[in-house]
Amino acid sequence: MATKIDKDACREAYNQVRDDNTEINWASFIYEGTMIVSGGQGTDYEEFKSQCKDDVRLYGYVRITTGDAMSKRAKFTLITWIGENISGLQRAKISTDKTLVKDIVQIFAKEFMISDIRELDENYIRTELKKAGGANYDAQAE
């Protein structure tokens, strides 16, 4: 059976993360059967990370403030989490299902596909986003 997505709920969650007037900095999109639905939003990255368990596959949209001494800016990332205990068939569907998510989540600086919880470390994600961000004036001070 083909996967579907709750476009309205997922778009609302996406827009909350993008909105500079809210403190929401992450949203997750989870599977309920063959439907991708909003899995929640929050302000604490560790709360998002706690959803990433061995028997779960989900998509996360995360806002991280990056920058250097000269400028600070919000960067967005799309994280695909595939738990260690996800079946081969479900793993295979991730890439095709991701197109449904990308129809809604269209603006992000970097995309990650992660199966190892250690790679979800916030500092690692921040560092990778900073690399993708271009000019880094902090290097001049080192």
136 three-state secondary structure = coil
80 in a structural domain: yes
Summarize pLDDT for 24-62 with one digit per residue, the tens. Answer: 999 999 999 999 999 999 999 999 999 999 999 999 999
Are the C-beta atoms of 29 and 3 separated by less than 8 Å?
no
Domain residues for the domain of 57 are: 4-133
DSSP 7-72: HHHHHHHHHHHH-TTS---EEEEEEETTEEEEEEEES-HHHHHHT--TT-EEEEEEEEEEE-SS-E
What pairs with residue 42 in β-bridges? 26
Contacts of range 127-132, beta carbons closer than 8 Å, 24 or more positions apart: 129/64, 129/66, 129/75, 129/77, 130/66, 130/67, 130/75, 132/75
138 in a structural domain: no
141 in a structural domain: no
Look at strands 4-5 and 26-32 and give their pairing: unpaired
Q: What was the pLDDT predicted at 1?
A: 77
37 in a structural domain: yes
Mean pLDDT of the chain: 91
88 in a structural domain: yes
- For the domain that residue 127 is a member of, what is the CATH number? 3.40.20.10
73 in a structural domain: yes
Question: For the chain, how many structural domains are there in total?
Answer: 1
| pLDDT tier, 140 (very low <50, low <70, confident <90, very high otherwise) | very low
100 in a structural domain: yes
SS3 content of the chain, % helix, strand, coil (to 5): 35, 30, 30
Q: What was the pLDDT predicted at 130?
A: 81
140 in a structural domain: no
Summarize pLDDT for 12-21 with one digit per residue, the tens. Answer: 999 999 999 9
